[in-house]
Amino acid sequence: MKARVHVMLKDGVLDPQGAAVKHALGALGFDGVDGVRQGKVIELDLADGATEAQVGEMCEKLLANTVIESYRIEVL
Partner 1 sequence: MKAAVVQFPGSNCDRDMAVALEKSGADVTTVWHKDAALPKGVDLVAIPGGFSFGDYLRCGAIAANSPICNAVVDHANAGGYVLGVCNGFQILTETGLLPGALLRNAGLKYICRTVGLKVETSNSAYTEGYNDGAEIGVPIAHHDGNYFADDATIEQLKGDDRVAFTYTDNPNGSRGDIAGILSENRRVLGMMPHPERAFEEAHGNTDGQRLFAGLMAQLANA
Q: Where does this chain bind partner 1 (CB under 8 A)?
A: 9, 13-14, 16-17, 20, 61-63, 65, 67-68
CB 55 within 8 A of CB 3: yes
- Minimal distance in Å, beta carbon 48 to partner 1? 25
- Minimal distance in Å, beta carbon 36 to partner 1? 13
Q: What is the three-class DSSP state of 47? A: coil
Q: Which is nearer to partner 1, 20 or 76 (CB)?
A: 20
Q: What is the three-class DSSP state of 2? A: strand
- Separation of alpha carbons 7 and 71, rounded Å: 4
- Minimal distance in Å, beta carbon 56 to partner 1? 17
